[in-house]
Amino acid sequence: MAALTSQVDRQTHPIDKVDSEKGATDQRFPPRSSQPVTRQCNILLRFAVLLSLVLLVQHFCPFPSLLQWESESVAGLDDLCPQVEALTSPRHEALLQSLDQEFGSSEFRLKAYESLGGAVRIPTESYDDLGLPSEDPRWEIETKFHQYLESRFPKVHANLKRTKVNTYALVYEWKGTENVKPLLLAAHMDVVPVNPTTYDDWINPPYSGYYDGEWIWGRGSCDDKPGVIGTLTVIETLLERGFVPTRTVLLAFGIDEEATGYEGAGMINKHLLETYGPDSMAMIVDEGGTFSIYLDNRLSAIHTWTTGGYDDLGGTVFAAPAVAEKGYMDIRMDVLTPGGHSSRPPKHTGIGILANLITELEAHPHEPELVRGRTYYQGLECRAKYDTSFPASMRKLVQQSQTSDAKLRELQDLLIDFDPMFYAMSGTTQAIDLIGGGVKVNALPEAVWAVANYRIADSSSPAELMDRLIDFILPVAAKHNMTLEAFE
């Protein structure tokens, strides 16, 4: 978190001050749907279960359908989009075929949907101002969620070792038969709070968990209770089949991912380090949106959206894991000005000065940047190489952009013009999310503030962001005869 504070020399003019710290998190992208993404989400739990199963089985044995996908995907080896040989094993083929049939049954699906719906009905809201789990009673809803998991997944809780970390975060250990590095599957149990004044705006109540035959409605139905429920569902099913993993499987479920993450993931990290040591995990699989770029042949539209981990594009199946994460920073701006009666106002109150600053920042958004070697560009290279439905003109442009800076810029401009999600994926984003100030309608505000949330592009850095902010804030400070002390 970072703070911008303004102190006042009441004899002369205001003084502006800025302080900053760093942070890190991930970026979420909206799903492919015309439905209101803030209200509902297609659970796609069957795929979540299948994906978890593929990760759990030793050597990641594919389902029969996945065997075909792998043979289609591995189209060749070259510098443009290098591929690796598929890892296959017949060891669990019979089990996988049986589970594939079970997961496709209506009975299994409805049970899985109800598992998620029940989880959504428990409002595990995570607030920015939460105190310590041992002190703040708002954490106690997590106990109810624990009890729900125990009742819904009895075999998991009878066979896996569960550790409560920092009171409410959960770590499960499913012991493997061999002494090899474990697999870590992570998710989080908390959700963003729902503003009570918006309850009536929801088509279905935000914590109804209602299944309408296509969608699970409610907060957490996308982010990230499917991660928790899908993982536990597949392990419960494997335990029913008597499956024992060769590799130890760890589950880590956080409690404040939507806030700081310190009390959940932060404390889980400490626990895992103390228990298993450094560099002790074979693989970590967490939530995170994957994306695909869809174009029509006339290039009249380019659409980027999240997927469930894979896409069939032009007859080729692309695995789409999330392999990069944007940086994170919150900047709080506080403007302190002399108080007084509103009948004798200055030319600009503190609110007006803050509004000027916000307007200046929003008038100069960060430009998205297409950078060779970065995740988005490499995705384009793979699409150009292996997707037969990729427009020929754009394929040529991608190829030319590898060596031509002019063509790289042309490709970037094309994406800016036609793909509204390119900015969110490839640039540093800025959102002014919180604002407040003033205590009475006839009193000049002495303290006003706003918080801007930044998701920093992987081609940038916190230092670059702070330098850029100073460049835009300084003229505003000078305009209002204020001085700026930034990020001390």
Give catalytic residue positions.
Answer: 190, 257
193 in Cβ contact with 127 (< 8 Å): yes
pTM for the model:
0.75
Determine the Cα–Cα distance for residues 236 and 156; give it in Å rounded to an integer. Answer: 6
95 in Cβ contact with 225 (< 8 Å): no
Task: Give the mean model confidence (pLDDT) for residues 417-437.
Answer: 89
pLDDT score of 81: 83
Model confidence at 8, pLDDT cuts 50, 70, 90, reads: very low
Domain boundaries, the chain: 2-24+325-366+427-485, 40-57+92-288
Nearest one of 132, 91, 112 to 46, comparing CA atoms: 112
Decide if 2-24+325-366+427-485 and 40-57+92-288 have a common fold: no
pLDDT score of 78: 54
Per the listing, tokens 């359908």 go with 65
pLDDT score of 159: 98
User: Worst-scoring range by mean pLDDT, 29-38, 46-55, 388-397, 469-478?
Assistant: 29-38
Determine the Cα–Cα distance for residues 323 and 382; give it in Å rounded to an integer. Answer: 14
pLDDT score of 259: 92
Per the listing, tokens 């991912």 go with 257
User: Worst-scoring range by mean pLDDT, 61-70, 387-396, 419-428?
Assistant: 61-70
Determine the Cα–Cα distance for residues 401 and 397; give it in Å rounded to an integer. Answer: 6
Q: What is the pLDDT of residues 297-336, one digit of tens each?
A: 445 455 555 556 677 777 888 887 777 888 999 999 999 9
User: Worst-scoring range by mean pLDDT, 37-41, 231-235, 270-274?
Assistant: 37-41
pLDDT higher than 50, residue 28: no
Which residue spans within 189-300 are E strands per DSSP?
Answer: 216-217, 249-254, 283-285, 290-295
Contacts of 183 (CB under 8 A, 6+ apart): 55, 56, 247, 248, 249, 250, 281, 282, 283, 285
**CATH node for 40-57+92-288:** 3.40.630.10
Determine the Cα–Cα distance for residues 458 and 351; give it in Å rounded to an integer. Answer: 34
Task: Give the mean model confidence (pLDDT) for residues 7-35.
Answer: 32
**CATH node for 2-24+325-366+427-485:** 3.30.70.360
